[in-house]
Structure 1
Amino acid sequence: MTDQHNDIAAAIHDAPIGSFVGRRGAEVLAAFAGEQTAMRAGEFLFHEGDYASTFYIVISGQLAFVKKATAKRPQLVLHVLEKGDLVGELSFIDGHQYTLSCAALGDAVVLSFKVGDLSQLVEEHPRVIYDFMRAIIARVHQTRASISRQHLELADYIATGGKRQ
């Protein structure tokens, strides 16, 4: 294995997905990884409405899911992504368009995984794919729990007229 392969495997293993796929799974995924892409502040990784054929892992820096500016409001940052976070994996899996745009908040590097590159992985390493799916489901559960907490906080705020209890 090359130093680059080892570095990619370490980045995958150190990311939250690594706790699901383990060291061996990270090594397998590294073999199917695409290119690392350097991004500058404000550069878009993808735009709302683009079709997904790639998902990414943030290797360094920060990206954000954003809603583009309109004539009535500035661009909105909806969620910040940090080192190790997966980006675009749900649209990658279900083949739907991205529902938000994703832009770099500063200098950042992402590692890409393309649909065509992973087809062989499904056939040869089904356990790695299973563990990858478990990681994605865990993230969906965390997101849902966070939205529920925020919903309750907003409901409490409205019910009390904005008074803290």
Structure 2
Amino acid sequence: MSIEHDFVSLRSSSLSASLNDEQVEALARISHCRRLADREIIIQEGNVDNSLHVITEGAIAVTRDLGKGEYTTIHVLHTGDLAGEMGFISGQPHTATLRSLGRTQVCSFEREAFESLLMDHPWLVYRVMQTIVQVSQDILRRMNAQHVELTKYVSRSHALY
């Protein structure tokens, strides 16, 4: 894929909502957009991966290993969502595996390449990091709401676990 294609893909993503065209072009120069095969793994649970992935088309399943080759899907990310943002920032091993679902395209960039933008494009770096924090807060809100709903369900049904 070309830089022009990468620019168009990134421009339509939530990651670039607060960026101008020059800043999106800078991101496109360090990114790599590609199509994934169905069920292709882009991040493996337990591995360190310093890439940030922007889902520009399709969906990705967030899965956890159950052992013996089995896994469970704990969440599905869709077009516009970010993937791998916590490992991108922290450099820590990932707590889940990310698998494409059907026809999916992602634009990815490495932390080292992103950090190279810091001197010439500090506002770009700031805005992207701001977006990553917002995405993380949204995930935390959804998880908290799900926890409350599950707690209510268990309490009402007097379920034992």
For the aligned pair, the TM-score class normalised by the smaller chain equals 0.7 to 0.9
How far apart, CA to CA, are the structure 1 residues paired with 2:112 and 2:157?
53
Maintained 8 Å contact 2:62/2:76? yes
Q: Secondary structure at the match of 1:159?
A: helix
The counterpart of 1:43, out of the listed 16, 40, 44, is 40
Please, which runs of 5 or more residues in structure 1 have no aligned partner? none
Matches within 5 A, 1:15-164: 15-33=13-31, 35-71=32-68, 74-161=70-157
SS in 2 for 1:105: strand
Per-residue deviation, 1:27: 2.0
2:29 maps to amino acid: A
Cα deviation 1:111-145 (Å, max 9, x = unaligned): 22013322321121110010001101111111111
1:14 corresponds in structure 2 to: 12
Q: Could you give the per-residue CA deviations for residues 27-71 of structure 1, whole angstroms, max 9, x where no partner exists?
A: 2211221x2232211221121111112121112221111112424
- Amino acid corresponding to residue 41 of structure 2 in structure 1: F
The residue aligned with 2:2 is 4
The whole-number CA distance in structure 1 between the counterparts of 2:62 and 2:72 is 9
Q: CA deviation at 1:23?
A: 3.2
SS of 2:19's partner is helix
- Quick one: distance in 1 between partners of 2:104 and 2:93? 23
Q: Are 2:15 and 2:54, in contact at CA under 8 Å, matched by a contact in 1?
A: no
Aligned-pair distance for 1:74?
A: 4.1
d(CA) in 2 for partners of 1:119 and 1:145?
28
TM-score by length of 1: 0.85
Aligned residue pair count: 158
Tell me which amino acid in the other structure corresponds to 2:19.
Answer: V
- One-letter identity of the residue aligned with 2:133: I
Separation in structure 1 between the aligned mates of residue 39 and residue 7 of structure 2, nearest angstrom: 28
CA contact (8 A) 1:52 1:95 kept: yes
